[in-house]
Chain A
Amino acid sequence: MVTNEIYKKEYDVIIIGGGATGAGTARDCALRGLSVLLVERDDYSTGATGRNHGLMHSGARYAVTDGESAAECIKENMILRRIARHCVEETDGLFITLPEDDLAYQQTFVEACGRAGIRAEVIAPDEARAIEPSVNPDLIGAVRIPDAAIDPFRLTVANLLDARINGAETLNHHEVEGLIVNQGRAEGVKLHNKLNGEHVEVRGKVVVNAAGIWGQRIAKMAGVNISMFPARGALLIFGHRVNRMVINRCRKPANADILVPDDTVCVIGTTSDRIPIETVDDMRVTREEVDVLLKEGIKLAPSLATTRVIRAYAGVRPLVASDDDPSGRSISRGIVCLDHAKRDGLEGFITITGGKMMTYRLMGEIATNAVCAKLGNSKPCITATLPLPGSEDDAPSQSDATKRYSFGERAAIGRHGSLAARIEKDNDIDNALVCECEGVTVGEIKYAVHQLHVQNLVNLRRRTRVGMGTCQGKLCSCRAASLLGEFNHDVKRAQKDLATFLDERWKGMRPVAWGDTLREAQLTAAIYEGLCGLDQAVSTQRKEDEQ
């Protein structure tokens, strides 16, 4: 449907926020037969969804401190293994005790896991070293638990795809500027289309605020107060995997105590700092954060000290103060669903927040239940059993060594599951690699642009991993920009997009710009600025645009 027609319709539910929670809610609502519009101010999974570890928690991390969250986690963990197979890599995880840690905590930990229903198997240090060679060899204890790796970009896109298959509309780059409130009832949203500058209003019977940490702003637009406590976490990406399993510290949660193997890389994190709500859009990583991450990280896997760091990033957890304690002293990591009719006397407005990426589906279910209660819909939730598009029972696997797939085909199956079959591969051009680090073909880019809502290179990166490899876009970004320019018939826009994309890549490299990552960045600058004059071309273009 063209955008103008989307604006004209009236929806049962409008969901604000294109993170995992919004996408999961959109899917659930659509599956229950509601007419759905999801709006996202930037790109899908731009916020906390795309800025975490990519860890599919077993819940073990919360077992001791928050049994309820732990039980939720393990339940959702098992569900995601079934419904989101192509987004999950079943690595298992270790909780290791180092000489400086209290081994007695292990007992407490294992018992708490037991209570939450999490398989926790104490193994000998020797066995831990054998199954995970990168682990700190000084460990004195280890527990094996069912952690896994999950790709939040894929997960979000798969939910959105299924929502769309079931009739939902989704708009990225549409920012909510205000809510339409009429006689104590939310009736829709005022939107700013950031692609063309247009301002529009869209009507819906129920508005769901799934904007994560930005939910406080959205609520304020409706005259409702929610106290959020942003907790910032920084993470580092290493150039390749050093570990096969997730490695955690078996102690009370602290800084940089989780190392996750994600796709071709591994990620250490996180720090945790309370920040003022006004600064949630500042995602720059500081030198102090980098230092802490490295210093603590090498205690999990000593080889991190000599492994190339390719990027740093930060995200903000949307923690919510419970309503009976607005001071924020008792902050829950649990799911918070607020029906503002009951809470604030505002009909047709629901906020779903708190929680974790792990529990996005459950959050979607809870929010959808609240929406359905308002609309008198009694259809049951089926998202816990219905596989996401790409993860059907007969979906191919990237690990199937009996199949002779090309590098690009195999990587695409890893990213899109059964939907990889939609990628054209009948000729040399479609099979040519655009991104050599991550194995993204021209065919895959075509598929992403035409079917996965790609407006620019950053969108494309989240759908395909273009530019996420070691070279951080050096070789692929110009090729991808050229394809986008061709598809959109707009070379100037592609050129600007290319410069923006390279700036965005550099932003993440800058806090870790030493050694080979600095060499890499210098070569990139030499190619694009020195050789191609991209900076000059873009500034000339900007001047022309201003005139």
Chain B
Amino acid sequence: MAERMQLCNISDNNFEQCTKCSICTTVCPVAAVTTDYPGPKQAGPDGERYRLKDHAYYDKALKLCLNCKRCEVACPSGVNIADIIQHARMKAGEGQRASLRDTMLANTDLLGMVANLVAPVANATLGLAPTKLVMDSVMAIDKHRTFPAYSRTKFTTWFKRHAAKEQDAYPNHVSYFHGCYVNYNFPKLGQDLVKLMNAVGYGVHLLDKEQCCGVALIANGLYKQAKRQARTNADSIRKSVKDDHLTVLTTSSSCTFNLRDEYPSLLGVDTSDVRDGIMIATRFIYNLVDEEKIKLIFKQDFKKRMAYHTACHMQRMGWQLYSIELLRRIPGLDLQVLEQECCGISGTYGFKKENYERSQAIGSILFKHIEDAKVEAVITDCETCKWQIEMSTGLPVENPISVLADALDVEATRRANGLQI
């Protein structure tokens, strides 16, 4: 012990490594638009010292934190500021029940499962003015918001029916953690991934058991449920990575960040042994292209001007470069890379009536940049950014995988990668 004396400074989430430089507060999108929120430095490391003394010092204003992690990206001292805030919220929420609204918003998979069965009705109803008014006044879900449309057929159903059988025939293989959005709302993104991976010789496989990653559960205070689901997912991922030696690909930045980093840091579910085996698909594909293991051939007639928006959690992982560099390989794509700004939705945050105005105020800088970029569509790795940008700018938003799949000359690519057509 004595020889290790004061060689390092260890504190929960590094809160005591903070030198109070306040850079985090200058990049906080919430502090920029409201004085009700004390900013990450105050809410995080400063507040933590007082909460250690007495948890009565927990300030309800911490609920305004988006958990966008921009503070953590900016911190020169490696303090996990947003995690400190999340932990304080978790502690304050112990023994408290989440509201019906929060439970509904948080259970993206449950809601999705029900809505899938009655997709046309659900879509029509959720979009109706009277329904919106009821949700606004009774459930405090803001009337400006429209729930993302539900698909008639789940991605997993489509996969089992149309794709599963042929996957084993490919020379290489990966697993796919599709997430709730792909499964219930937008199976096309999953189909695009299968199309793309197949074209470069990779068979795609589903995990043994996949549940909602739980990012919305954490945000809405349903920690026990989040932990249960995290354990299930961690087990499935471990089987894929360790036993089957298959990398687990994802197409949603927030799910990815949650699986890799928030499972251990917030939920105490250790995924560090398989962390390197979970990655966003663009990173996996970029590395293969870079190492010249695969080739991508794009259509000659693909011509589009699009803007890339870096989702906050994508930036936290530092992976936006993979998406951007991969997209830049599409000859016909005039790609405008936007300065990183938060869109303001932060998953379910912006759906809540009390957050609507703040959410839009936060996003306004980004919306202006998008407008100035004069593009026909926006590209981002996060589905909730997509909803926010579509609602706020009227432009369509796509995942990089869909853009790549759309621009891909499938036959030429298959040939180039030595596959039979």
- A residues with a Cβ closer than 8 A to B are 239-241, 261, 263-265, 294-295, 298, 302-303, 305-309, 398-401, 404, 406-407, 410-411, 428, 433, 436-437, 439, 469-471, 474-475, 514-516, 519-520, 523
- Select one of A263, A406, A470 contacting B16, CB under 8 A: A470
30 contacts between A and B (CB under 8 A): A239-B16, A239-B49, A240-B15, A241-B52, A264-B52, A264-B53, A298-B1, A298-B2, A298-B5, A305-B1, A305-B4, A306-B7, A306-B9, A308-B9, A398-B54, A398-B57, A399-B54, A407-B50, A411-B50, A411-B57, A433-B42, A436-B42, A437-B49, A469-B46, A470-B18, A475-B20, A514-B6, A515-B8, A516-B16, A523-B21
Task: Say if the beta carbon of B55 comes within 8 Å of chain A.
Answer: yes
Name B48's closest neighbour in chain A (CB-CB). Answer: A240
Task: Say if the beta carbon of B47 comes within 8 Å of chain A.
Answer: yes
- B residues with a Cβ closer than 8 A to A are 1-2, 4-11, 15-22, 35, 38, 41-42, 45-50, 52-60, 77
Cα(A305)–Cα(B6), bound, Å: 5
Which residues of B lie under 8 Å from residue A294 when comparing CB positions? 5-6
Cα(A166)–Cα(B46), bound, Å: 39
Which residues of A lie under 8 Å from residue B8 when comparing CB positions? 306, 515
Which residues of B lie under 8 Å from residue A305 when comparing CB positions? 1, 4-6
Q: Is the CB of A437 within 8 A of B46?
A: yes
How far, in Å, is B34 (CB) from chain A's closest CB?
A: 12
How far, in Å, is A255 (CB) from chain B's closest CB?
A: 15
Name B21's closest neighbour in chain A (CB-CB). Answer: A523
How far, in Å, is A287 (CB) from chain B's closest CB?
A: 13
Most chain A C-beta atoms within 10 Å of own C-beta, residue among B20, B38, B55, B60: B20
10 A-B pairs besides A295-B5, A469-B49 with CB distance below 8 A are A240-B16, A240-B49, A264-B52, A306-B10, A307-B16, A401-B55, A433-B42, A436-B41, A437-B20, A520-B19
Given contacts A437-B46, A471-B20, A523-B19, A407 and B9 within 8 Å (CB-CB): no
Cα(A308)–Cα(B19), bound, Å: 11
Given contacts A401-B56, A406-B59, A516 and B17 within 8 Å (CB-CB): yes
Cα(A532)–Cα(B217), bound, Å: 47
Count, A-B residue pairs, CB within 8 A: 110
Which residues of B lie under 8 Å from residue A474 when comparing CB positions? 19-20
Cα(A309)–Cα(B9), bound, Å: 9
- Select one of B47, B52, B55 contacting A407, CB under 8 A: B47
Q: Is the CB of B49 within 8 A of A407?
A: no
Which residues of A lie under 8 Å from residue B41 when comparing CB positions? 436
Which residues of B lie under 8 Å from residue A410 when comparing CB positions? 50, 56-57
Given contacts A298-B5, A302-B1, A407-B59, A520 and B20 within 8 Å (CB-CB): yes
Q: Is the CB of A307 within 8 A of B49?
A: no
Q: Is the CB of B60 within 8 A of A307?
A: no
Given contacts A294-B5, A523-B19, A407 and B42 within 8 Å (CB-CB): yes
Cα(A523)–Cα(B8), bound, Å: 19
Name B10's closest neighbour in chain A (CB-CB). Answer: A306
Q: Is the CB of A475 within 8 A of B22?
A: yes
Q: Is the CB of A471 within 8 A of B48?
A: no
Q: Is the CB of B60 within 8 A of A516?
A: no
Q: Is the CB of A264 within 8 A of B50?
A: yes
Name B8's closest neighbour in chain A (CB-CB). Answer: A306
CB-CB nearest 5 A-B residue pairs: A471-B20, A306-B10, A401-B56, A264-B49, A308-B9
Cα(A441)–Cα(B46), bound, Å: 14
Cα(A363)–Cα(B21), bound, Å: 45
How far, in Å, is B327 (CB) from chain A's closest CB?
A: 39
Q: Is the CB of B49 within 8 A of A436?
A: no
Name B35's closest neighbour in chain A (CB-CB). Answer: A428
Which residues of B lie under 8 Å from residue A515 when comparing CB positions? 6, 8-9
Name A89's closest neighbour in chain B (CB-CB). Answer: B53
Given contacts A240-B11, A401-B55, A308 and B16 within 8 Å (CB-CB): yes
Q: Is the CB of B10 within 8 A of A307?
A: yes
- Select one of A261, A302, A471 contacting B19, CB under 8 A: A471
Q: Is the CB of B50 within 8 A of A439?
A: yes
Cα(A303)–Cα(B9), bound, Å: 10
Q: Is the CB of A263 within 8 A of B53?
A: yes
